[in-house]
């Protein structure tokens, strides 16, 4: 006897065995028990969630011979239920719409409707993937659907209900099947493995359930493959190789490399991942899923996974959203890229390029690239210090004026400029800088503070601590810069309006000056 695949061997034979569709089962059982059976049903949902299975069970309930009326629990012993299970019932017709799209096929079907069932109470028509029917075929069904004979029940199954005309939908009772959650799938898989006397570990069943994405049939198909690959048992390493599952620690290392701007670390980690032979789109999907978890943890603090919590505190919220957008944009174009590996590599390069901390390193260490000296602007590093800028022999920042000059001449990420540009200087003693912040200022992210300390270390050639005091911020760098820009703008505006030649020109041509186009001379 040939081997019977698990998806067929363990196909539910009654409503109690169906998992993950309680809302559908309850509606059908209640309608059968109350003898309020609809004339036509639409079962919609993704592949492998139980549309055809539930349709067959419903057909058995309608024609079971163990009772004089339809029952919600078929006996699976009478000839009618056995024939339906085996696919040879003359009163239960399964039609594949994909191969019978022509209107002539539907007209032939309609001609048989008037004939009463041969053995059962009802003649039941199951049309699978009904959305594949042509418009003419749907139109041919409309009158029959609206007023079918009392002995006829239609069941339509579809993965794409939007393509079914509204005129057809309005004549049917539509029941939407959901994807099965991962926990239920794990329990179902483990139950089958115990019945099959197959050794397994929890991690393997979790990986299979996760890869099935809510489809029971996909889960059992993957289970069949895993059993064959593992020579009759499930082992974590075998299932990882089969599914190309990536260790989360490797993904964390990769994202850490992106956040630190360490290009070599990112691509060395990618090389390790490639040794597991995963699909490149799977790597990107896993990165997207992890960034999603990190984003939720930053807002809700709802994760119980240590590495997710750690990354949520390390990466800036806005940068995390930027990484997510870059990954999603790359994934949306993945199928049209001629080389999947290149598509993933370009995605990672974009993440590194748009790192606001500008830490992309040329070596495998985590040390950021040192800034190149700008001879025109970086006067803070001159060997001969300006006496007006000195508080002592080793300090270059001794006043708020020095602080503003430091802020304007040092290269910082946009995020760092936004945080520190709204602070004012207090003092600098014993290798500790103290800055004044508003009471409403939010806590400085760890990576932003680390960037600022790195700049100070390069300037003073030693570690410098940074303290923050809540108080009234007076003359912060951004406020001073805004005031200077506003002053220059007003001067430019007055200069243009007072210019005699411009006044003559405006009067002659009845013109107006667009004030938003005025820019001060730099």
Q: For position 376, what pLDDT does the model report?
A: 37
pLDDT band for position 170 (50/70/90)?
A: very high
Question: What's the pLDDT band for 492 if we cut at 50, 70, 90?
Answer: confident
Is 340 in a helix, a strand, or coil?
A: helix
133 and 20, same domain (yes or no)? yes
**Residue in the block written with tokens 């807002």:** 299
Q: What is the pLDDT of residue 338?
A: 87
Asked if 133 and 49 sit in the same domain, the reply is: yes
Cα(135)–Cα(149) distance, integer angstroms: 23
pLDDT (0 to 100) of residue 317: 87
Cα–Cα distance for residue pair 396/399, rounded to 1 Å: 9
Residues 323 and 397 in one domain: no
In 315-413, alpha helices (H):
317-332, 340-353, 400-409
Express each pLDDT in 328-347 by its tens digit: 999 998 888 888 889 999 99
pLDDT band at residue 519 under the 50/70/90 scheme: low
Q: Residue 360 domain-assigned?
A: no
Select the highest-mean-pLDDT range: 29-38, 333-342, 419-428, 459-468: 29-38
- Is residue 308 domain-shared with residue 228, that is, in the same domain? no
Structure tokens at 255: 């994202």
Which residue would you say has higher pLDDT here, 85 or 101? 85
Whether 374 is covered by a domain: the verdict is no
pLDDT reading at 517 higher than 70: no
**Average pLDDT value for the chain:** 84
* Average pLDDT rounded to a whole number, residues 238-262: 84
Same domain? For 194 and 307 the reply is no
Q: Which of 114-128, 185-199, 214-228, 436-450 has the lowest mean pLDDT?
A: 436-450
Of 55-59, 134-138, 512-516, which range is least confident? 512-516
From 440, 457, 473, the end of a domain falls on 473
* Residue 488 pLDDT: 84
* Cross-sheet strand order for the sheet of 40-44: 92-96, 123-128, 152-158, 40-44, 173-176
> Could you give the CA distance from residue 40 to residue 152 in angstroms, rounded to a whole number?
9
Q: Hey, is 466 helix, strand or coil?
A: strand
Q: Kindly tell me if the per-residue pLDDT of 453 is higher than 60.
A: yes
Question: What's the domain count of the chain?
Answer: 5
**pLDDT higher than 80, residue 16:** yes
* Residue 235 belongs to some domain of the structure: yes
Question: Are both 10 and 106 inside the same structural domain?
Answer: yes
C-alpha distance from residue 421 to each of 245, 317, 480 (Å): 45, 19, 10
pLDDT for the residue numbered 302: 84
For residue 167, tell me if it sits in a domain. Answer: yes
What is the share, in percent, of the chain residues with pLDDT greater than 70? 89
Percent residues over pLDDT 90 in the chain: 43
Q: Could you give the CA distance from residue 7 to residue 25 in angstroms, rounded to a whole number?
A: 20
Amino acid 522: pLDDT: 55
Whether residues 56 and 194 fall in one domain = no
**Domain identity same for 348 and 404:** no
Specify whether 231 is located in the same domain as 255.
no
Report the candidate in 409, 317, 319 with the shortest Cα–Cα distance to residue 356.
Answer: 319
Q: Are residues 304 and 220 in the same domain?
A: no
pLDDT score at 344: 93
Q: Residue 356 — pLDDT band, cuts 50, 70, 90? A: low
Is residue 290 one of the residues assigned to a domain? yes
pLDDT value of position 483: 87
Please tell me whether residues 13 and 126 are part of one structural domain.
yes
Q: Flag whether pLDDT at 382 surpasses 70.
A: no
- DSSP assignment of 159-228 equals S-GGGS-HHHHTTSEEEEPPPPPHHHHHHHHHHHHHHTT----HHHHHHHHHHHTT-HHHHHHHHHHHHH
Range of the domain at 220: 182-243
pLDDT digits (tens, 9 = 90+) for 363-375: 334 444 344 334 3
Is the residue at 153 inside a domain? yes
| pLDDT tens sequence across 51-62 | 999 999 999 999
215 close to 182: Cβ distance less than 8 angstroms:
no
């Amino acid at each position: 006897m040939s081997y019977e695949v698990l998806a067929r061997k363990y196909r539910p034979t009654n409503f109690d065995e169906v998992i993950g569709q309680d809302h559908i089962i309850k509606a059908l059982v209640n309608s059968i028990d109350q003898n309020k059976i609809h004339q036509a049903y639409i079962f919609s949902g993704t592949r492998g969630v139980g549309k055809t299975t539930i349709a067959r069970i419903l057909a058995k309930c309608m024609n079971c011979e163990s009772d004089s009326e339809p029952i919600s629990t078929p006996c699976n012993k009478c000839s009618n239920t056995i024939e339906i299970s085996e696919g040879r019932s003359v009163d239960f017709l399964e039609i594949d719409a994909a191969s019978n799209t022509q209107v002539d096929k539907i007209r032939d079907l309609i001609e048989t409707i008037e004939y009463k069932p041969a053995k059962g109470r009802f003649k039941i028509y199951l049309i699978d993937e009904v959305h594949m029917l042509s418009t003419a075929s749907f139109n041919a069904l409309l009158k029959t659907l609206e007023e079918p004979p009392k002995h006829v029940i239609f069941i339509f199954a579809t993965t794409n209900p939007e393509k079914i005309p509204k005129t057809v939908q309005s004549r049917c009772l539509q029941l939407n099947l959901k994807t099965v959650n991962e926990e239920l799938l794990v329990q179902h898989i483990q139950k089958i493995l115990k019945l099959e006397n197959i050794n397994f570990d929890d991690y393997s069943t979790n990986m299979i359930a996760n890869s099935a994405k809510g489809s029971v049939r996909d889960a059992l198909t993957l289970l069949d493959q895993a059993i064959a690959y593992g020579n009759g048992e499930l082992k974590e390493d075998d299932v990882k190789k089969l599914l190309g599952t990536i260790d989360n620690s490797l993904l964390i290392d990769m994202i850490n490399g992106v956040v630190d701007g360490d290009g070599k670390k990112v691509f060395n980690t990618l090389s390790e991942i490639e040794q597991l032979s995963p699909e490149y789109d799977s790597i990107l999907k896993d990165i997207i899923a992890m960034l999603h978890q990190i984003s939720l943890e930053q807002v809700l603090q709802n994760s119980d996974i240590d590495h997710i919590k750690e990354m949520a505190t390390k990466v800036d919220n806005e940068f995390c959203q930027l990484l997510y957008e870059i990954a999603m944009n790359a994934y949306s174009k993945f199928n049209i890229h001629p080389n999947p590996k290149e598509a993933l590599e370009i995605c990672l390069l974009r993440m590194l390029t748009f790192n606001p901390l500008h830490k992309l390193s040329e070596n495998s260490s985590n040390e950021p690239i040192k800034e190149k000296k700008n001879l025109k602007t970086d006067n803070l590093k001159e060997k001969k210090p300006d006496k007006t800028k000195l508080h002592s022999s080793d300090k270059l920042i001794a006043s708020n004026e020095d602080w503003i000059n430091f802020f304007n001449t040092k290269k910082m990420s946009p995020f760092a400029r936004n945080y520190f540009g709204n602070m004012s200087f207090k003092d600098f003693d014993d290798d500790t800088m103290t800055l004044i912040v508003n009471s409403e200022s939010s806590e400085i992210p760890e990576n932003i503070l680390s960037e600022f300390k790195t700049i100070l270390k390069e300037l003073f050639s030693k570690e410098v601590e940074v303290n923050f005091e809540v108080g009234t911020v007076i003359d912060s760098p951004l406020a001073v810069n805004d005031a200077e820009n506003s002053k220059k703008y007003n001067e430019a505006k007055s200069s243009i309006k007072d210019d005699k030649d411009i006044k003559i020109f405006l009067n002659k041509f009845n013109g107006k000056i667009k004030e938003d186009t005025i820019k001060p001379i730099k």
